[in-house]
Amino acid sequence: MSREPDPFSGGFARAVTDAMERRGVGLRELCRGVGLDASFFSKVLSGKRSPPSQESVLRRVAAFLGLDAVGLIVSAGRVPSEWRALVEDPGMLHSAHSLITGGSRPPASKPSAPRSLDLRKGGLSDELL
């Protein structure tokens, strides 16, 4: 049974360049379409600069290339706003960590109640870096 390759297995630059190739989009066309400086983004794709830190820019790149926005944001080393609850709720963070690592959840004080996620707020990238 054949499976499509994971577009994010090679990191941000690989995901973007692969998507550009699939769509037949050049660097200048992408940058014009999403409002990025082509010189800067060329350095990002060659590994000389870090991906943009603004979630809105990463979402525009993802939309332009038809990529999953959350996957692209994560591949850029950022925490998407949809995952805000993971950062704000220690109980949820421990549960996610346990699920990912296959380990047991460390004993914690009384777990806090889940918080509602307000997607109207901006991303966490600036707060976390």
Q: Calculate mean pLDDT across residues 91-112.
A: 72
Q: Which structural domain, as residue segments, surrounds residue 19?
A: 11-75
Phi/psi for 8 (5° steps) reads -110, 10
pLDDT digits (tens, 9 = 90+) for 10-34: 699 999 999 999 999 999 999 999 9
Are 34 and 70 within one domain? yes
Q: Which two tokens stand for residue 113?
A: 């109640």
H/E run at residue 96: helix 90-101
User: In terms of pTM, does the model score above 0.85?
Assistant: no
The predicted pLDDT at position 24 comes to: 97
- 76 and 11 in contact (C-beta within 8 Å)? no
| HSE toward the beta carbon, residue 28, CA cutoff 13 A | 0
Are 23 and 63 within one domain? yes
The answer as to whether 2 is a domain residue is no
Please count the structural domains in the chain.
2
